[in-house]
Amino acid sequence: MTHRIYVDGELVPEALIGQESERVARDPRWATVAEGAERARQQRAAAEQSAIGRVLVEQAAARDPRPVDPAVFGAGSATHEGRGQLPQRFRR
């Protein structure tokens, strides 16, 4: 049974936790954790924390009225893309 998670009154969607769970599970470091209930519990906890972080960033961005400078974003994304760290949906 899953529990609902709220961040500053906003429900963290189960779909977001599911997406984060899939992303977290691809990390090769999980190979060191034995299969089974303990791995699932740890992955779920990691996915919840990641989803909470994403919601916090989205909330902070929504409160910040400043426009995003495309040059700054472009430079940062190019750096991450070069390292292979940029999600596929943001790659050129």
Model pLDDT for residues 39-79, shown as the tens digit of each residue: 899 999 999 999 999 999 999 988 988 887 777 666 655 55
Total domains in the fold of the chain:
1
Token pair recorded at residue 39: 């791995």
> Is 6's pLDDT higher than 90?
yes
| Residue 23 domain flag | yes
| Full residue range of the structural domain in which residue 77 is found | 6-90
| Residue 1 domain flag | no
pLDDT of residue 76: 55
Contact call for residues 40 and 67 (beta carbons, < 8 A)? no
| Residue 26 domain flag | yes
The residue among 86 and 57 whose pLDDT is bigger is: 57
| DSSP-based three-state secondary structure for 7 | strand
| Residue 58 domain flag | yes
pLDDT of residue 50: 93
Token pair recorded at residue 13: 């969607």
Per-residue pLDDT band for 86 (boundaries 50, 70, 90) equals very low
